[in-house]
Amino acid sequence: MDIPSIALLLVMLLAANGAPVLAWRLLGERFAAPVDAGRTLGDGRPLLGRSKTWRGLLASLVATPPVAMLLGLDWQTGLLVAAGAMTGDLLSSFFKRRLGIEPSGQALGLDQVPESLLPALLTAPRLHTGPTDWLLVVALFTLGELLLSRILYRLHLRKRPY
């Protein structure tokens, strides 16, 4: 188990997933163009939903590389974490829409696993992590996300407590 690499990955995941929330908080609805451009599939449901925006995606991709550099890693590692986290988040949204879960609706596990596991897998060669590390990252990210979401909600920095 590589505790330092797990800690680095969790800090970068915090940056990658926090940047879109911060961008929303700073910019409101400005530049909030949905990634799916409002498209729906044959089931009549949105492809991803209005809460997945290009602004949030860009915020994550721009914010995470400098965080990686502050942690002593190269910017490419930060970019991999952000790309993996955002890809996982978009995949989760796609599956949640297919399951009939509304945008920003909660789906325990589906909301956390893809956006923490994909970055862990993508950065494994760089951070020298393995399956036990990946499972720990997913578990800690899930617990941390559930706790932090409730705190941010109480501070009025999130719209919902999850």
User: What are the tens digits of pLDDT across the range 37-58?
Assistant: 999 999 899 999 998 999 999 9
Answer for the pair 135, 129: CB distance below 8 angstroms, yes or no.
Answer: no
Q: List, for residues 82-137, the tens digit of each pLDDT value.
A: 999 999 999 999 999 999 998 778 899 999 999 999 999 999 999 999 999 999 99
Q: What are phi and psi of 47, to 5 degrees?
A: -60, -50
The total of other beta-carbon atoms located within 10 Å of residue 74's CB is 12
Q: What is the dihedral of CA 14, 98, 153, 137, to 10 degrees?
A: -30
pTM for the model: 0.91
In this structure, is the dihedral angle defined by the CA atoms of residues 33, 35, 39 and 40, taken in order, positive or negative? negative
